[in-house]
Structure 1
């Protein structure tokens, strides 16, 4: 990201880099790291939140520690391509707690879902009882993650 995008300057970029590494830091701690006083640091953060540059603050949970060790990427092709079918599919899949990411993609498939489950049996139950019950699905392809090597990469 360059400093010109969204009217961000180098100080804004510095603040974002600090927040990406640790969003739990206090305004004072962030200000020290970016060589600014707390008040302008706080104002810059609030402005970036208001403008949508900062969308949310989240935590990174170790999936295996909460019994969600299986990750699956599921590609979905709809059987009908229109706004109504796609909208209903997005609405229905967005409600599924197992689906942690939903992407509209190009190519042979229309959507890619990132799904977490306890294990293969849990995924199978989810697939049969929830995902396959959603109207409009024509074809699916599931890819099972063997090992995650890099995740939650800073974008700045």
Structure 2
């Protein structure tokens, strides 16, 4: 459920920016039937309050040589706080790791990895992942095709 502090103008701004972060305050205002000044103030507030974390261009991984996407589950040998934090601190430094989640269940972490090919993945596993603190078991799943990849969250009850 959306935060109760957000009104329809706020959610409208967030919806529009999720789909095109290049929209100017003027364009946002036109689409939301508001003037530039209140739109500017609201965008600033949404940034300051952390609703908008950052702006980014979404790249095609195949066009930049990172077309092989791998989800790797990692189970650590030790589950003490210092072991979990040490692994996490090191794995997030790897440029191939695009996302890292501490998970419940049989595995401790789920990584989304973007690489060029199987040789690069082998190098990553053998020379970077397997030497991290307390790594026990790893299980990898290679993406064969992508049916949906959404970066925008649905906001509000009904659209």
Q: Give the match for residue 75 of structure 1.
A: 73
Q: Which has the higher helix share?
A: 1
CA pair 91-3 structure 1, distance change in 2 beyond 3 A: closer
RMSD of aligned residue pairs (Cα, Å): 1.0
Alpha-carbon distance in structure 2 between the residues aligned to 1:39 and 1:136: 53
Q: Give the match for residue 113 of structure 1.
A: 111
Shift of 1:2: 3.0
Unaligned 5+ segments in structure 2 are: 155-159
Alpha-carbon distance in structure 1 between the residues aligned to 2:3 and 2:48: 18
Q: Is the partner of 1:133 in helix, strand or coil?
A: coil
Unaligned 5+ segments in structure 1 are: none
Q: In structure 2, which of residues 137, 140, 154 is the aligned counterpart of residue 139 of structure 1? A: 137
Alpha-carbon distance in structure 2 between the residues aligned to 1:18 and 1:36: 14
Q: Give the match for residue 51 of structure 2.
A: 53
Q: Give the match for residue 2 of structure 1.
A: 2
Q: In structure 1, which of residues 1, 15, 18 is the aligned counterpart of residue 16 of structure 2? A: 18
Shift of 1:152: 2.5
Task: Count residues in correspondence.
Answer: 154
Q: Give the match for residue 86 of structure 1.
A: 84
Q: Is the partner of 1:130 in helix, strand or coil?
A: helix
In the superposition, the TM-score normalised over structure 1's length comes to 0.95
Alpha-carbon distance in structure 2 between the residues aligned to 1:70 and 1:101: 14
The one-character-per-residue Cα deviations of 1:48-86 (angstroms, maximum 9, x if unpaired) are: 100001101111100010111100000011110011011
